[in-house]
Structure 1
Amino acid sequence: MKKIYVMAAFLGASSFAFNQVVQKAPSQKTLQTEKAISNNNDVAKAQGVSIWANDFSVAGDWVIDGSGLQGSWVIGTTADYNPFVFQGQNVTLDNFMNSPGMTSAGNGYAFFDGIQFVDNTLDQVAWIQMANSVDCSTESIVTLKFEQEYRAFSSNKTYVEVSLDGGTTWEQTIDVNPTVAGNTSTTETTVFRNFNVNNSSDVKFRFRWESLGTTGGYGWQVDDVDVLTLADHDIAVRSHNFGSVGLYYKQIPVDQVAPIESSVVVMNQGANDEQNVKLNANEVNAGVYTSSSAPITLVSGTEDSVVVTNTFTPSGQGSYKIDYSVSYDAVDDVPSNNMLNSYEFNVNQFIYARDTSTSPNTVYGQLTGSADAPPTEVIPANLFDIFADAQLTGIQFQFGNVVTEGALVYGEVLDNNLDPVAAGETAPYVVQAGDAGKTVNLIFDTPLNVMAGETYAVSVKCFENDFSVATAGESPAQTSFIYYLDDATWYYTTRTPVIRMNFDPTLSVENNELSNLNVSSNFPNPFANTTTVNFNLKEATDVSYTVVDLTGKVMTEVTEGTTLAGDHSITIDGSSFANGVYYLNITAGESTVTRKMIVNK
């Protein structure tokens, strides 16, 4: 079957209050890769001596069991995936995950298919374990190596467990993919994990899938399992962090440049203690920065964090790329588990962005409530740290593929408690035909002052179910959010909305000198029954205006016709309006100005 790469209604969400992932709807896959750097040039050396190996070509080597209400492991190939209907299409697990890339996938592999139950998800606890024990009596610690494909969705877990008594009890459990972001595939396709076996002659391993509640998941594929003695030298990276004293940004306005920090957590999975373990950072575009962490000694079986000694501060506008590597005195036997992504970003004049979108019209993913049951309105948001006082003039964002022509879209700035800030709402934007995938600016009537040392959430909202914001890249937990109006709750998402700060001073010049139309704020405001707006025309032109409510409903629509140059005024009759917020859109020729009005009776 042809692969389907169109992003559907992914909503990567988790409970903001309880830090628990709650996914609203799955999506079919897109592929996105990033170059990884290894200091050891991926030279394969001794990975330990194989004690036992299996490629799932003999089903009797494994026992399948579980304690959940739904789903079980299968040994097979893509031909054994169960078909089902998703959003009107006939699909299988293959439509949602990478094709199995394991070395011996052609002769069969073990897989758990969770997505087939998407319409009626129950508790899933299922495992596949070795049928016969392996003798590890000469080893206190062994390395389990296997190949995998996995795509994260929600709170599902992918565990590997070891038993030292033939499967009666399971002494050690490792979550293999805990940091894979929702709706993304693991990049760790060859896995090495160490287990304490305490010289047991009755060792078994098992792979366990667990998804509790109604969230479900995509699936997990496992193949080419190998139990190994410890490698001589094996430093593995457990986590890698970089960014401007907290968050990392892909676009940074020059006035918000701050020192960039870098760190890793490393673990010694080899048999030997290692000397002079360091994290190295090298900026390769400008070529003016190289630094390393202080060297440490890492004892076998322990882990530690290392931080690059000198931060990097970009010198000005331009593109930057920091390559990272881990080094120590020995040559690593398993270089695949200490490869580090580069940090690529640019410093520009006005745009502050966390997303990785590189094409203004490409929708890599999207956040929408249109596919929920029932559909609901959503408000996505990103956190931004402010390092210097500035005036925010606009909020730039990219539509997804779900739009409603004629709907009103607003930007709003919130504080770090996700509460609105004063004067933090932009003028509305009216959705036009062809806006799907388009990047637009939502403009403040008056620039919003943002203060150094503060963190703000920048959001985009539309009071329509058929609305979407594009996503690109991954966000650390609790740094990107989505608000669901159906339950009035903020959740966090690990997908990064394409929502940016725009500091361009030309965006929000009230009564732009280049415009033919200058409009005052209405007075009084708030008002009960009537309010007056003054405007000035440099040249005679046709004038019209509308008043709309927050849903986009037109309350008043008036055509003034040809109006002479000079000062004029209009009176808005709001006697029939309910209390609330309204927007006056006044158009003179090619110029349109929007003013916010409040009715309070």
Structure 2
Amino acid sequence: GLTLWSNDFSTPSDWIIGNLASNSDDWVIGTGVPAGSFAINGIASTSAANGFALYDSDLMCSGNQNAYIQIATPINLSTNANVSIEFEQYYRKFQDSTFVEVSNNGGITWTRFRINNVAVNAFSGGSAAVNPDLVNVNISSVAGNQAAVLIRFKYEGGCDYAWMIDDVKITETDDNDLVAKNAWYGFNTIPYSRVPMNQIQAVDFSMEVDNVGALAQSLTQLTVDVNSGTFTATSAAVTVPVGGSDSLFLTTQYTPATVVGAHNITMTVASSATDASPSNNTITPPPFEITADKYAMDDFTLAGNGGGLSPSNGAEFEAGNYFEIVNTTIATGIEVIVGTTTAAGTTIDLVLYEDDGTALIEVDRSAFYTTTLADQGNSVILPLPTTPTLTAGTFYFAAVHAFTNFVYGVSGSSPSNTAPSGAVSLIFYPNMTNPTTNENFFTTATPMVRLIVNSAIGVKELSSNTTFTVFPNPSNGIFNINLDAKSTEVVNLTVNNIVGQTVLTKKVTVSGQTKETISLANFDKGIYFLTIDNNNEKQTVKLIVE
């Protein structure tokens, strides 16, 4: 709508700074960015270079914070019945509350509008990458047709993160104006960014919508499109009242095809009316990908570093992500992106835990690895020595373990403990199984720690007694065969080339879990066929030598 009043904080005297806690934890106007122990980035607002308002709760950290920044001169809105406040912000929540407060009687009474009702550790725009986040609030109920309107931004907290505000406007409220926010997709509620082919499950979608217009919005629906029409579906239609919000859930799940590739998502909200600002009705989340063998939570773009010392200055820690196994498979390794400030000579190992519902149980651990300068910002993949079998219906936790002041890469925003999935990214000092009191944390800054599984060939059943898996496939000629027999039996391994010639035979006695390795490294690259038989049943799988 038409702008009736605006301010970009370039003139600090336009604002009054107040403190209701009777301490010095105050708002400031300038270009300084958050500087506490858990500082977030500065706001990237339209006019940030001219100055902005900052409440650096983390830096001041008194434990009792109740402060505001208020316009000095009242605004005359006597001829405007429907008005809204718009502003750009950058904010991360902890235990605090944030408000826009409006008065039409000289500050005797204030009507408050809750801003940033998000989960603990979440960013206002749903991700650290949304900077700035544009906020629009309909304040007609208290400011409409009023001759002397005062506006203030109020922070109530103790020792949290920070809130930055810039480019504030009062505008005429359009009749029809929906705003989309908090777009969400999840595999069993978890927003994985990479999913192996043999771990695919149905994806759910949801999004929240605010009605900041002057009229109720009927037939409001969420529409989701994947890969430009490969999948399209909608939510049930609802009516969103003036000043109201609603959560919209897709009525149909999306199950990706078992093909390696990206899935680009577009999520749009619309009502039966023509929206005045359609640009804020659509959110495009980061795409997810189906991979051959990699499971990941992070966005694959290094955005910063995580880890380092604990609050008590302990250096040893384990940090990583949960992964749900929906089809039994083999774990072959774990990948970590080394942080950009990790010193050469830092020792790490990578560890896999199983969550049995009550505790984390160590499944396997890599050999130790010593970092080099060349590792900074790059991938390190370490194999898991026993290539453990991962059981369907079980959650596993893949982590990096460090003894010294190691940092790992972070990318994207993991769910908090109040999200539908619960927290899925953790950092515990000194380890996952015996953390120090008050030094076991969930993190929304996603650790770039990924699980590598055998996705090319899943678990095969030779008989009711024996199952097997083959990995990696394709390979450079070395293939591992994991056989698992309830009772001891002898099986035959036969490899034929594409014209049917036998190139390798081997007899193996299988007792419990048995690992066998075959080598085709001295043969031509191409396709081969492995047959496993116990003289009664047989199974054949295709092998690819690259």
Structures share fold, TM-score greater than 0.5: yes
Q: Structure 1 residues 283 and 469, CA, compared in 2 at 3 Å: closer, same or farther?
A: same
Distance in 2, matches of 1:183 and 1:230, equals: 27
- Secondary structure of the 1:197 match is helix
Matching residue's letter, 1:308: L
Matching residue's letter, 1:399: V
**Cα RMSD, aligned residues only:** 3.7
What pairs up with 1:525-544 in 2 under 5 angstroms? none
**What residue number does 1:270 align with?**
213
Q: Structure 1 residues 311 and 153, CA, compared in 2 at 3 Å: closer, same or farther?
A: closer
**What residue number does 1:479 align with?**
424
**What residue number does 1:337 align with?**
280
**What residue number does 1:306 align with?**
248
CA distances 1:308-357 after superposition (whole Å, capped 9, x unpaired):
23222111222221222222332211334323123412212211111111
208, 211, 217: which one pairs with 2:154?
208
Q: Check conservation: 1:446, 1:508, Cα contact below 8 A.
A: no
Q: Check conservation: 1:443, 1:508, Cα contact below 8 A.
A: no
- Secondary structure of the 1:166 match is coil
Unmatched 5+ stretches in structure 2: 417-422, 455-468, 480-546
Distance in 2, matches of 1:128 and 1:406, equals: 46
Matching residue's letter, 1:407: T
Matching residue's letter, 1:479: V
Give the Å deviation of 1:63: 1.8
Larger relative contact order (Cα-Cα within 8 Å, sequence gap ≥ 6): 1
What pairs up with 1:168-317 in 2 under 5 angstroms? 168-176=108-116, 178=118, 179-180=122-123, 184=128, 186-195=130-139, 196-197=141-142, 203-213=149-159, 215=160, 217-218=161-162, 220-226=164-170, 228-284=171-227, 287-315=229-257, 316-317=259-260
Q: Percent identity?
A: 26
The answer on 1:73 being equivalent to 2:73 is no
Distance in 2, matches of 1:474 and 1:82, equals: 21
- Secondary structure of the 2:275 match is coil
Q: Check conservation: 1:70, 1:122, Cα contact below 8 A.
A: no
Q: Check conservation: 1:153, 1:184, Cα contact below 8 A.
A: no
Structure 2 length as normaliser, TM-score?
Answer: 0.70
Matching residue's letter, 2:216: D
Q: Structure 1 residues 297 and 173, CA, compared in 2 at 3 Å: closer, same or farther?
A: closer
Matching residue's letter, 1:130: I
What pairs up with 1:90-239 in 2 under 5 angstroms? 96-102=41-47, 108-112=50-54, 114=56, 117=59, 123-134=64-75, 142-148=83-89, 150-152=90-92, 155=95, 157-176=97-116, 178=118, 179-180=122-123, 184=128, 186-195=130-139, 196-197=141-142, 203-213=149-159, 215=160, 217-218=161-162, 220-226=164-170, 228-239=171-182
**What residue number does 2:336 align with?**
397
Q: Structure 1 residues 238 and 210, CA, compared in 2 at 3 Å: closer, same or farther?
A: same
Matching residue's letter, 1:192: N
Q: Structure 1 residues 278 and 122, CA, compared in 2 at 3 Å: closer, same or farther?
A: closer
Matching residue's letter, 2:155: W
The answer on 1:412 being equivalent to 2:362 is no
Q: Structure 1 residues 514 and 159, CA, compared in 2 at 3 Å: closer, same or farther?
A: same
Q: Check conservation: 1:151, 1:183, Cα contact below 8 A.
A: no
**What residue number does 2:491 align with?**
none
Distance in 2, matches of 1:257 and 1:281, equals: 19
Unmatched 5+ stretches in structure 1: 1-46, 88-92, 516-601
Q: Check conservation: 1:238, 1:265, Cα contact below 8 A.
A: yes
The worse-fitting range, judged by mean Cα deviation, of 259-268 and 132-141 is 132-141
- Secondary structure of the 2:198 match is helix
Q: Check conservation: 1:71, 1:124, Cα contact below 8 A.
A: yes
What pairs up with 1:511-590 in 2 under 5 angstroms? none
